[in-house]
Amino acid sequence: MRTQIRVLAVASLLAFATGAIAASPQAPAGKELTPQQQRMSTCNTQATVKKGDERRAFMSSCLKGEQPAKATQQDKMKSCNADASAKSLKGDERKRYMSTCLKG
């Protein structure tokens, strides 16, 4: 019985100590975060909805300070196609519009 109580007491102390260490803030009170730590915090906040490889790629480019990638050709095609449909363009007029839209 005493052994069980001792084991429980030690386990409780260990759990408390581990929780206290994990809960401690990264920067001590009164000390500012470095620019890299601030960037990490910002990037991490922005990446909360991303998972797996997408998150890794985003975090890598974000921490390097790179701008988000421009729209892909497929994204441009979708956007230009939707605009052409909204304008009810057909035939040669649509081809000209799509060409101009995809270039710019």
The reported pLDDT for the residue numbered 90 is: 94
Say which residue, 63 or 88, is predicted with more confidence: 88
Say which residue, 96 or 70, is predicted with more confidence: 96
pLDDT at residue 38 above 70? Answer: yes
| Residues 37 and 65 placed together within one structural domain of the fold | yes
pLDDT at residue 22 above 70? Answer: no
95 inside domain = yes
47 inside domain = yes
What residues make up the domain containing 57? 33-69
80 inside domain = yes
Helix residue ranges, H only, 33-72 = 35-46, 52-63
pLDDT at residue 15 above 80? Answer: no
C-alpha neighbours within 13 Å on the C-beta side of residue 7: 4
Number of domains comprising the chain? 2
Most confident of 40-44, 51-55, 68-72, 85-89: 85-89
